[in-house]
Amino acid sequence: MMQDNLKQLEAAYEIIKNNKLIEIDEKKNDIEILRHAKRLVRVSLPIVMDNGSIRVFEGYRVQYNDARGPFKGGLRYHPEVDEDEVTSLAFWMAIKCAVADIPMGGGKGGIIVNPKELSKTELEKLTRALARALAPVVGPLVDVPAPDVYTTPEMMSWFKDEYSKIVGVDSPAVITGKPLTDGGSKGRDKATGLGAVYALEAYLEKTDKKEITVAVQGFGNAGLHFAELSHPEWKIVAVSDSKSAIYNEAGLNIADLIKHKEETKSVVDFPGSKNVTNEELLALDVDVLVPAALNSVITEKNWENIKAKTIVEIANGPIALPESKKLADKGIVIIPDVLANSGGVVVSYFEWRQNLDKESWETDDVNAKLKDKIRSAFAAIWDAKEKHNLDLRTAAYVLAVARILEAEQKRN
Ligand code: NAD
């Protein structure tokens, strides 16, 4: 995974150098800094389990780059967490924060654990142990974690509480994604979906398209809110979850579909729609395809089936890198993950700001600020794409790498 990131880094650096986008002193070879994580912390977390036995869990925190601000990125609890993956995701966070132009860097962490096998008491002990183990290297101005795969707002509260006890000061800004009642931000729950809506809206303004058909893969936090918050002119004709997909060419009633999903735990068998497979959903002849479930769903096996003219990457890395290039060469516009799903981290940054300033912003205020950030990021990426004839992903990397390098140069 990290290999792909490094390829994108090198490609962006070549464009920055050749077009003299920032001043570069070749002797310094400052790009080398971005090829490495600044710090990798590996922790062992001994926990007394409910049955009295002791189990030791292994965890990581990768602090990739903090030239633009504190490291920022999630903590995931998953049996397959590994060093390479966490490093790669930490690099990605640095790029994402720079694309969104928020003053934060990139980090990521996790524990090798299947949280479904642990009781709530054990999960609390594990999270508090992680906070104690990371306390010397995190902090509101140093590294600010957040939820990620299988971690919850409640866990963020435990982390904050344990860290605050250690430093002796209530420190809500040490972590984001907390519950609203414990320093969380209004608007965080819908921010990723809404950010993707704003990104697509900004792109459509560059075209003459207003009325579009859309297929959304994944109906979880991000996909559901994208569908729920999308414009009336956008017809959501298909959505899916891990069980299967549904399709209605006349458009799906999303409010009714949310109720159906709550009642039956799936989107399948939604009245008035027909069931199709997830592969069929990806290949639908729609204007916009929104992968919002998993990484690597479009690969060499199925990329030629894609008929959508635009893809909005809400999932992280839903398209394999070579296929992303092939699709872009075919004229398919890909709104890249580092922009399309950055709404979550932008509102996490807002949460951090509110905590530091002891403020609480209203939802409308949060959403207006989010819109502003996404539209500015889109405009800058579009500008770079037009000026240097790039696809949007490469343009986003060029912008981000230039911003991070400039910040590094200031301190070296
Ligand atoms: P989630 O767990 O809430 O939802 C995932 C959805 O995908 C569920 O509806 C699930 O049923 C569906 N799914 C799982 N396997 C599938 C399969 N094989 N085919 C089709 N659908 C499948 O997760 P989420 O928070 O909505 O995140 C979705 C993606 O967006 C992930 O890649 C995540 O990294 C990315 N993302 C999320 C956020 C956020 O704030 N939620 C932020 C940035 C990126």
What confidence tens digit (pLDDT) does each residue in 315-358 have? 999 999 999 999 999 999 999 999 999 999 999 999 999 999 99
C-alpha to C-alpha distances, 190 to 251, 364, 378, nearest whole angstrom: 22, 12, 19
Torsion-angle region of residue 320: left (phi > 0), alpha (psi -120 to 50) or beta? Answer: beta
CA of 218 to the centre of ligand 1 (A): 6
108 is catalytic: yes
- Per-residue pLDDT at 117 exceeds 90: yes
Alpha-carbon distance of 290 to 312, in angstroms, equals 5
CA of 211 to the centre of ligand 1 (A): 26
Residue ID of nearest Cα to ligand 1 atom 36? 315
- Per-residue pLDDT at 118 exceeds 80: yes
User: Taking a C-beta distance cutoff of 8 angstroms, is the pair 283, 304 a contact?
Assistant: no
CA of 295 to the centre of ligand 1 (A): 9
- Residue 358 tokens, joined: 């002891």
Q: Which amino acid is at 222?
A: A
CA of 163 to the centre of ligand 1 (A): 29
- Per-residue pLDDT at 28 exceeds 80: no
Q: Which atom of ligand 1 is nearest to the CA of 191?
A: 40
Alpha-carbon distance of 196 to 185, in angstroms, equals 19
The per-residue pLDDT for range 358-367, each reduced to its tens digit, is: 999 999 999 9
User: Taking a C-beta distance cutoff of 8 angstroms, is the pair 43, 61 a contact?
Assistant: yes
Q: Across the chain, what does the average pLDDT equal?
A: 96
CA of 57 to the centre of ligand 1 (A): 25
Residue 381 banded pLDDT, cuts 50, 70, 90 = very high
- Per-residue pLDDT at 39 exceeds 90: yes
CA of 166 to the centre of ligand 1 (A): 34
Predicted pLDDT of residue 233: 94
Q: Which of 130, 85, 127, 129 is nearest to 108 (CA)?
A: 85
The pair phi, psi for residue 56, each rounded to 5°, is -110, 120
Residue ID of nearest Cα to ligand 1 atom 5? 220
Q: Which atom of ligand 1 is nearest to the CA of 314?
A: 30
Residue ID of nearest Cα to ligand 1 atom 32? 315
Q: Which of 342, 94, 350 is nearest to 196 (CA)?
A: 342
Contacts of 304 (CB under 8 A, 6+ apart): none
* Ligand 1 binding site (Cβ under 6 Å of any ligand atom): 192, 217-223, 240-242, 278, 292-294, 314-316, 341, 344
Predicted pLDDT of residue 147: 96
Residue whose CB lies within 8 A of the most ligand 1 atoms, among 314, 337, 342, 348, for a mutation test: 314
Residue ID of nearest Cα to ligand 1 atom 43? 341
Q: Which of 83, 103, 84 is nearest to 94 (CA)?
A: 103
CA of 189 to the centre of ligand 1 (A): 13
- Per-residue pLDDT at 25 exceeds 90: no
Predicted pLDDT of residue 104: 98
Q: Which of 135, 81, 132, 129 is nearest to 108 (CA)?
A: 81
Predicted pLDDT of residue 3: 85
Residue 231 banded pLDDT, cuts 50, 70, 90 = very high
Buried b / exposed e across 97-128, counting CB within 10 Å, b at 16+?
bbbbbbebbbbbbbbbbebeebeeebbbbbbb
Segment among 4-8, 358-362, 378-382, 387-391 with least mean pLDDT: 4-8
Contacts of 386 (CB under 8 A, 6+ apart): none
* pTM, full prediction: 0.96
- Per-residue pLDDT at 26 exceeds 90: no
Question: Catalytic one among 96, 108, 160, 186?
Answer: 108
Residue ID of nearest Cα to ligand 1 atom 17? 242
Q: Which atom of ligand 1 is nearest to the CA of 192?
A: 40
Contacts of 198 (CB under 8 A, 6+ apart): 343, 370, 371, 374, 375, 378
Residue whose CB lies within 8 A of the most ligand 1 atoms, among 242, 278, 281, 295, for a mutation test: 242
- Per-residue pLDDT at 27 exceeds 80: no
